[in-house]
Every structure is written in structure tokens, then in C-alpha cells.
Amino acid sequence: MNIFATFFAALPATIEQGLIYAVLAMGIMITYTILDFPDLTVDGSFPLGAAVTASLMLSGWHPIACLIMSALAGAVAGLATGLIHVKLKVRDLFSGVIVMTGLYAINLRIAGGSALRTIPRTATTIFRNNPLADVLPQGVSVVAIALLIALIVKLLLDWFFTTRYGYLLRAAGDNERVVTSLARDKGNVKIAGLVIANALVALSGGILCQQQRLFEASMGTGTLVLGLASVIIGVNLFRGSNLIKRTTQVIIGAILYKACVSFAIACGMRPGDLKLITSALFLLILAAGQMKKKEKQYA
Amino acid sequence: MLELKGVQKTFGTATAREVRLFDNFNLTIADKEFVSLVGSNGSGKTTLLNIICGSLPQDKGSVVMDGRDISGQKEYVRARRIGRIHQNPAWGTVGNMTILENLSLADNKQRRMGFRQGTDPRRVEYYKELLRPLGLGLENMLSARAGSLSGGERQALAMVTATMTPVDFLILDEHTAALDPQTAETIMTLTDRLVREKGLTTIMITHNLRYALAVGDRLIMMHKGKIVLDKKGEDKMTMQPGELLQLFGGFNYETPRTSEETYAAYPQFEAAAR
């Protein structure tokens, strides 16, 4: 079969996934581009969101309530990383690794001790067997709902960044001294950023869990890399454009990243090899990030 | 009133390079006094400001503000009453935010940082009024990123944001050192005006001896963690630039020349008592 035919056949699924991962990417946008914090917590908080949603759905919770609980759980994970980093003065990368490692065990506990939980096909999720999904034409319903969620998150974030606290958060990432001069504790602002970011990441994990109807303990591996790739693709693609908001850039970046992966698979790449590509991509991103920093120094 | 009482500060404790910079350092600055602080590199000027602002802890002694010991207060808590301008113009404002956003951010200092709109559109005219006297045209470029401004423009903006909400103390750490002579002059005029208008208690570090004499109402020279010259009012007004320069040179070079042979080749900087 033709590579392109395979790619286009998978396109709706690619876009669905891209939109779901866009929520995650917007969370990573906060820690990486705004706070300049390489937050590895996300490798644990993403499956945390999935674990919470999976186990709550299996005990009969409403799908939306499950997502809210997932986001809250993610917020707690972000809080933990923030407190470890700010109060105990552990380096940023290590704070994330500590929480991520701990979360692996916690996720298994939440999922009832099993590394794999599946949700039955008949269950009501935000994508299936609910009034909204029933009205939408089959085939587009999942994309439409994923788009709706991504847009809601985007608009909320856009609004947040224009609030007083949003200003403070943006200032914290760019120039901590200004936060101090405003008589605010810069550590607390950093913690707040991590809380919001991880809430979004876990929310994204919860959404993915509802779409794929499963939680898997190792699903978080590479979350940070995936999110960073999305953010950097989006931001660099629209470099210098003031018309398109950062959040929109990141959503487009997430879809493009998923499209790249899908294209690689269509080309016949074995899923096992994908990690190699991912790691090469990560190296590229970090190298590009260093160059960006240099630029910033002289800005 | 700002007092430093018996302050001790040692750098590199228990290493071969241990340096006791301050040993029983005392200084009292009266309300609304404008102090210009001079001294060579390493004389302890910036360390002094860092101790006052809480960026560096002292080993012993206390910082007392209006009779209250604030030694235990964190830097950000002290910032409620202290405005600080750094040598680097990029440190005072957020480069990735616009002039308007920077002004709004500073304006919000006295408000709750909740989820209200960051910029209050009713305040925009007021912000423009604050920028207009600078004469730099910043009031017409509110949507420009602070990072795109020149050093002088950005330092002027930092002066406005630091003094926008009521503060009692202004700390200026060589705030004109990175600027060209013309711009430095503009910023210095602005500084003098702001300090007088708002009645701020001010400490200004400068390496420009001319500014040190022309601006402010008290002049302090530091050398190796000690005050070697402290002139106020009439004494300061009549001081000649040449004398100050001689004294400065005398303390820092091998052969002291005059200013009474630099306090008779400085037996432990006895002048502190003068």
C-alpha cells in the first residue's frame, strides 16, 4: 500500500490524538517556555490522570467528574514537585524525577495494582454514548469533542495570561527579580505554574484514557519529550508572528508532531524504533533550546 | 529612618580566601536623606545594599527600619517599602512584556494578585502621564516590548515602575553606569526629581564623583568595608571635586597625596569618626 494512502487513512486518528496531546503540550508550554523549568513530573502526572479517570470510571463516576478529579490529582503532583524544588532547594530536573518515580507506584495503586486497566466499549465516555456524541455525525464526533476541549483549555489559558496573576507568572519566567520587587515570593509563583501545568497534563491523560478506553502504567514514558517537541515545533513554525497566540501555535505543533509520527509509521518504521527517533528529536530540541537561550541573553 | 547596627559580614568563611568585609559596621540614614555612596570596587557598597534589601544575610548585627528590626524579613517582604534599581537596565522590567504590561504589573504591586484583568484600561491615561515627563516618547509606544527598548529607555521605565506604588526607600546600585553620558545625565535628572517629589530615603551608589557631589545631600565614601568619609549639608556643598578625587586616589593607590596625605596614610581609616 502507498505510504500516503496509509498516512491519509490514519489522518482523523492523528488529528484526534494531536488535539488530545495539545492539552498536554499547553501544560508543558507553561513550565518550559514561560517558567523555563524542565519538568519531568509530567512523565508521571500524565498516566496519573489516566489512572484516576480509569479507576473512577470503572466505579461509575461521570466522565466529566473523572476528568476534574484527574486534573486535581495532577495539580497535587505539580504541587509536590514545586515544594521539593522551592522549599527543599532540589534542582529542577531532580525534583521532577523524584515525583515522577514516586508516581509510578502511586499510579499502580490507583489503578488497583494492575499495570493495565481497560474500560468496556459500552461505557459512557466524553467521546461515546453521551448526548453530544450522539447528535454529532459518526466519524467526526471524536475530533469535534477533542477540538472543543482543546479550545476551551486554550481560551481559559489565554484569559489567564491577561489576569494579574497571569502577568506575575509571565514575569516570573522572564525576570525573577521583578517578582521580588513586586513584594511577591517568586517561589510561590513558580509552584503555582507547576500546579497549573501538571493539572493540564493529567487532564490530557484522563482524556486520552477515555478515548482509548485504557490505562497503562508505562504510558507516561516520553511525555515531556513529546510535549516539548509539540511546543517547539509550534513556536518555531510561527516565529516572529504576533497574530497567532502562543497557545494556538502549541495546538498546531501538537497535531504536526503526531502527523510526523504517523508519517514515520506509514513509511514502515517499526514502533520499537520510534523511541530512537524521539530521542534524536529531543537532542535536536535541547540543542535548539541552547541556541535560543543565547539569543535571549542578547535580546 | 534606616539603621545598620554592628553588622558583620565575612565572605568565604573557613577558606584560604576568607575576607571579613564588615566588622561592627554602623550607619544611620535619616528620613528623606539622599545619600550618594562612592568607593572602589570591593569596598562593600553593593554588599551594603544587598544586606539592606535582604538579598544577602549578614553574619551578625541588625538592619533596623523605623525602629523595627527587619533582619529576619525576606527580601520580597522588604520590597514592600524598598524600590531598587540595578546597574543592568534589563533587570528592572520584564523584557517579554510590553511597556503597558510592565506598568500594570508594577501598579498591581499594592493590589491582590487575583484573576482580575492584569491591565486596567482606566489607568492607561495615568500611565501615560507618568511616562510623559521622561521626554523619551515612551507614552506613545505602550505596546512595545520592554526588551526592545534601549538601555536608557528601559532604565527610565524601571525608575517609573519601581517608584510607582508608594515606597519609602529607594536603592540605586550604579543605575547609570551602563548608560552613555548623555542618557546617564537624563536618568540622573529624573532620579533627583523623583526622589524630591516623593520624599524618598535614598542610597545611590555611583562611580561618577561629579554626580556624587552634585546630587544628594550626604556623601559617603567607603574603603574596605569602612566609612572613610561622611559629609552632609554645608560640608558636602563646599567639598571640591579635586579633593574627593585625591582622597579616592589616596586610598586606592600606593602613594597618597594630600587630603592630609590621605588621613596620614590611613591608620585604620580613622576618618570614619570625623
> For chain A, what is the HEC assignment?
CCHHHHHHHCHHHHHHHHHHHHHHHHHHHHHHHHCCCCCCCHHHHHHHHHHHHHHHHHCCCCHHHHHHHHHHHHHHHHHHHHHHHHCCCCCHHHHHHHHHHHHHHHHHHHCCCCCEEECCCCCCCCCCCCHHHHHCCCCCHHHHHHHHHHHHHHHHHHHHCCEHHHHHHHHHHHCHHHHHHCCCCHHHHHHHHHHHHHHHHHHHHHHHHHHHCEEEHHHHCCHHHHHHHHHHHHHHHCCCCCCCCHHHHHHHHHHHHHHHHHHHHHCCCCHHHHHHHHHHHHHHHHHHHHHHHHHHHCC
Query: Are A163 and B91 an interchain contact pair (Cβ–Cβ within 8 Å)?
Result: no
Q: Select the residue from A162, A178, A179 to test the B interface by mutation, using most B Cβ atoms within 10 A.
A: A178
Query: Are B97 and A167 an interchain contact pair (Cβ–Cβ within 8 Å)?
Result: yes
* pLDDT, average across residues B258-270: 62
Domain A3-297 has CATH 3.40.50: no
Long-range contacts, stretch A150-153, CB < 8 angstroms, 24+ apart: A150/A19, A150/A20, A150/A22, A150/A23, A150/A251, A153/A22, A153/A23, A153/A26, A153/A200, A153/A203
Bridge partners of A20, per DSSP, are none
Residues within 8 A of A (CB atoms), B 61-90 only: 74-77, 79-80, 83-84, 86, 90
Is B213 within the bounds of a domain? yes
Query: Are A163 and B118 an interchain contact pair (Cβ–Cβ within 8 Å)?
Result: yes
Contact present, A127 and A133 (Cβ < 8 Å): yes
With 0-12 / 13-18 / 19 or more C-beta atoms within 10 angstroms meaning exposed / middle / buried, residue A283 is: exposed
Q: CB within 8 A of A109, min separation 6: which ones? A: none
The Cα–Cα gap between B139 and B159 comes to: 15
First to last CA, chain B: 21
Residue where the block lists cell 512595545: B144
**Taking 50 as the threshold, does the pLDDT of residue B265 lie above it?**
yes
Kindly report the nearest CA distance between residue B68 and chain A, in angstroms.
Answer: 18
The Cα–Cα gap between B250 and A186 comes to: 44
Which pLDDT band holds residue B245 (cuts at 50, 70, 90)? confident
Q: What is the pLDDT of residue B20?
A: 85
Is B56 within the bounds of a domain? yes
Q: What is the pLDDT of residue B236?
A: 84
Q: What's the domain range around B253?
A: 2-81+167-273
Q: Select the residue from A165, A168, A176, A181 to test the B interface by mutation, using most B Cβ atoms within 10 A.
A: A181
Contact present, A248 and A16 (Cβ < 8 Å): no
Residue where the block lists cell 478506553: A213
Query: Are A185 and B108 an interchain contact pair (Cβ–Cβ within 8 Å)?
Result: no
Kindly report the nearest CA distance between residue A250 and chain B, in angstroms.
Answer: 18
Q: What is the pLDDT of residue A9?
A: 84
Bridge partners of B4, per DSSP, are B27, B63
Chain A CB within 8 Å of residue B147 CB: yes
Higher pLDDT, A233 or B200: B200
B34-39 and B201-205 beta bridge pairing: parallel
Between A32-41, A256-265, B141-150, B244-253, the lowest mean confidence (pLDDT) is in: B244-253
Instruction: Collect all residues of chain A within an 8 Å Cβ-Cβ radius of residue B167.
Output: none
Q: What is the pLDDT of residue B271?
A: 47
Cα within 13 Å of Cα(A242), Cβ side: 6
Chain A CB within 8 Å of residue B108 CB: yes
Is B115 within the bounds of a domain? no
Q: What are phi and psi of B49, to 5 degrees?
A: -65, -40
The Cα–Cα gap between A279 and A78 comes to: 25
What would the grid cell of residue B244 be? 574627593
Chain B CB within 8 Å of residue A299 CB: yes
Q: What is the pLDDT of residue A179?
A: 95
Chain B CB within 8 Å of residue A180 CB: yes
Is B153 within the bounds of a domain? no
Is B10 within the bounds of a domain? yes
Chain A CB within 8 Å of residue B40 CB: no
What would the grid cell of residue B118 be? 492584569
Kindly report the nearest CA distance between residue B87 and chain A, in angstroms.
Answer: 13
CATH of residue B65: 3.40.50.300
- Residue of B86, B95, B101 lying closest to A167 (CB–CB): B101
Which pLDDT band holds residue B273 (cuts at 50, 70, 90)? very low
Instruction: Collect all residues of chain A within an 8 Å Cβ-Cβ radius of residue B109.
Output: 182-183
**Taking 50 as the threshold, does the pLDDT of residue B101 lie above it?**
yes
In 3D, which of A27, A180, A218 has the Cα closest to residue B105?
Answer: A180
- Residue of B79, B86, B94 lying closest to A174 (CB–CB): B94
ipTM: 0.87
- Residue of B74, B118, B147 lying closest to A166 (CB–CB): B118
Tell me the count of A-B CB pairs closer than 8 A: 79
Q: Which residues of chain A have pLDDT under 70?
A: 1, 240, 282, 285-286, 289-299
Q: Select the residue from B50, B76, B157, B175 to test the A interface by mutation, using most A Cβ atoms within 10 A.
A: B76
**Residue A76, amino acid:** V
**Taking 70 as the threshold, does the pLDDT of residue B192 lie above it?**
yes
> CA angle B151-B152-B153, nearest 5°?
95
Domain parsing of chain A, residue ranges: 3-297
Bridge partners of A94, per DSSP, are none
Contact present, B202 and B170 (Cβ < 8 Å): yes
The Cα–Cα gap between A98 and A106 comes to: 13
> pLDDT tens digits, residue range A155-173?
999 999 999 999 999 999 8
Domain count, chain B: 1
Q: What is the pLDDT of residue B148?
A: 93
Kindly report the nearest CA distance between residue A188 and chain B, in angstroms.
Answer: 12
Is B215 within the bounds of a domain? yes
